[in-house]
Amino acid sequence: MRWHPKGYGGKRRPAEMVRRDGWRDHGVFVVAVDDPRLTWPERELVRQLGERLYGRRIIAERTHTLNAINAGIAKRESVTIDGAVAEGKRQAEKIVAEARRQAEAITSNMNKRRDAINKEVEAREGALAALNAKIDAAKAEVRRVLTAA
């Protein structure tokens, strides 16, 4: 003889079993956005689906509704996150500065090469002009000799 209606009293089914039965029997899918069994893309998909269907989650930092203990935890996490963001910014700034230095060095080398090439071109143009002058003089000499003969 039972003292409680079916489903009340006695042993409670584990949440995972309820989720599994809900999926198998009714096609209802229940998953936590931070379920460790999911990969990052899968968690992101779950988050996007939840936001699309039900709107954004209420996050403690925005609502300020946490009790004192949770507020302390959130503050510590925020400080940790802020420190990580600051460190990331410092590393990014170092990388950008190094990239700029390398770009300046490459630009300087290219300008030096361009100047050297321009000097070489000017020298060859001068030599070509001298050869053209000699050719013109030789042509004039040939004409003079031919007209004299």
Cβ-proximal residues to 28 (8 Å cutoff; 6+ apart), any chain? 22
Percent of the chain with pLDDT over 70: 77
Q: What is the pTM of this model?
A: 0.35
Does any domain span residue 6? no
Quote the number of domains for the chain: 2
User: Are 70 and 125 in the same domain?
Assistant: yes
Is 60:66 a contact under the CB 8 Å cutoff?
Answer: yes
Higher pLDDT, 18 or 6: 18
User: Are 53 and 101 in the same domain?
Assistant: no
pLDDT interval class at 84 (50, 70, 90):
confident
User: Are 74 and 147 in the same domain?
Assistant: yes
Across 18-41, average pLDDT = 88
- Dihedral class, residue 29 (left if φ above 0, else alpha if ψ from -120 to 50, else beta): beta
Across 141-149, average pLDDT = 87
Which structural domain range is residue 83 located in? 66-149
* Interval 105-115: pLDDT, tens: 999 999 999 99
User: Amino acid identity of 149?
Assistant: A
Dist CA 117 CA 119 (whole Å): 5
